[in-house]
């Protein structure tokens, strides 16, 4: 296969998304989560972290407890990489998130190649940069502001919880947010506003929010989006206007995947400069 044939890589990613014996029959959601966690370590001030460098290849980052379960996604993508050894892991992991969102009926997301894997283990960002689901609005803001996002973008990005589910053995939380967790939609926002959520301890003793039938769930951080008035205003808009949500999600997710990605001749020198400050 010709180097640089990203359409062929996209097709190979689509082929690994249906997984009949896994979760809801789809690896799509966990691929989205991998793209997000690979990117969400970014720190705007120091320029460190982000998808460039695919630092989750290293044990230090892979074993951050926020990344529990993502080895499933990385292993699936290793199969794709065997077919296209010229693609960087950093490009492959981010592209897989984009392809998965489109495959599940979400918006088209701008994606550009050019990430590299040439980062030494000593430059892996520290653990603890990803959000902690047991916390509230102050924590969410401090994590996403660190990456350079505003309140509107935080709410748009959170709409990815329309996809997939929580696993007791990964995060301690359990269950899906919506009844059709392999279709991208704005149902998550509608349910946040409409359902009566009650706090309960799940089967492993972790507090989460459930609907009346204990079928659907919300994390404490999800509930913060309806408690905080500034976040809530965006939840209401996205619940009402699916097209607006798709547009804003595509922009914010595209921005997320670009955090810390510098291309061109100054690339390497700038990255080394940023890493020296880790
Ligand atoms: Fe998330 N997320 N996420 N999330 N997430 C979890 C699962 C998914 C938080 C916590 C969790 C985003 C923001 C946040 C996905 C995409 C995004 C889980 C369950 C927790 C906990 C993990 C498990 O048990 O398997 C917190 C906290 C925040 C922000 O405050 C953002 C942003 C995105 C993407 C744009 C997706 C998709 C999943 C489902 C994964 C799966 O395996 O089904």
State in Å: Cα 129 to ligand 1 middle. 14
The predicted model gives 160-176 an average pLDDT of: 98
Q: What residues pair up with 134 in beta bridges, in sequence order? A: none
The residue from 36, 93, 177, 234 that is catalytic is 177
What is the interface pTM, i.e. ipTM, of the complex?
A: 0.99
User: At the topology level of CATH, where does 6-130+256-275 sit?
Assistant: Peroxidase; domain 1 (1.10.520)
DSSP state of 183: S
Domain ranges of the chain: 6-130+256-275, 137-251
| 87-123 per-position pLDDT tens digit | 999 999 999 999 999 999 999 999 999 999 988 888 8
Q: Which residue has the higher pLDDT, 16 or 263?
A: 16
Cβ(166) – ligand 1 distance below 6 Å: yes
Positions of E strands within 20-153: none
Domain 137-251 listed as CATH 3.40.50.720: no
What residues contact residue 75 under an 8 Å CB cut-off, 6+ apart?
none
| 56-72 per-position pLDDT tens digit | 999 999 999 999 999 99
Terminal-residue alpha carbon distance, the chain: 38
* Measured distance CA(251)–CA(277) in Å, rounded: 29
The residue from 36, 37, 161, 234 that is catalytic is 37
Q: Can you list the alpha helix ranges (DSSP code H) found in 175-228?
A: 187-194, 220-227
Cβ(33) – ligand 1 distance below 6 Å: yes
Cβ(96) – ligand 1 distance below 6 Å: no
**pTM, 2 dp:** 0.96
């Amino acid at each position: 296969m010709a180097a640089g044939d990203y359409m062929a890589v996209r097709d190979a990613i689509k082929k690994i998304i249906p997984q009949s014996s896994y979760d809801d029959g789809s690896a799509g959601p966990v691929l989205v989560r991998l793209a997000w966690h690979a990117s969400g370590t970014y720190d705007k001030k120091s320029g460190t972290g982000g998808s460039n460098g695919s630092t989750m290849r290293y044990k230090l980052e892979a074993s951050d407890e926020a990344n529990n379960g993502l080895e499933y996604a990385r292993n699936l993508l290793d199969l794709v990489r065997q077919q296209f050894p010229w693609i960087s892991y950093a490009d492959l992991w981010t592209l897989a998130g984009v392809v998965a969102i489109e495959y599940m009926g979400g918006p088209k997301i701008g994606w550009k190649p050019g990430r590299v894997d040439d980062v030494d283990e000593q430059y892996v960002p520290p653990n603890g940069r990803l959000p902690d689901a047991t916390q509230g609005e102050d924590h969410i803001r401090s994590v996403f502001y660190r990456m350079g996002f505003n309140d509107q973008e935080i709410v748009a990005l959170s709409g990815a919880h329309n996809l997939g589910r929580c696993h007791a053995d990964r995060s301690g939380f359990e269950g899906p947010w919506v009844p059709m967790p392999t279709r991208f939609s704005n149902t998550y926002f509608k349910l946040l506003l409409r359902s009566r959520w009650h706090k309960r301890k799940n089967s492993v003793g972790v507090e989460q929010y459930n609907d009346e039938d204990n079928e659907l769930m919300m994390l404490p951080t999800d509930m913060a989006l309806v408690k905080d008035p500034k976040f809530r205003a965006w939840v209401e808009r996205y619940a009402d206007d699916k097209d607006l949500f798709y547009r804003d999600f595509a922009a914010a997710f595209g921005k997320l995947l670009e955090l810390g990605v510098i291309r061109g001749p100054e690339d390497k020198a700038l990255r080394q400069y940023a890493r020296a400050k880790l």
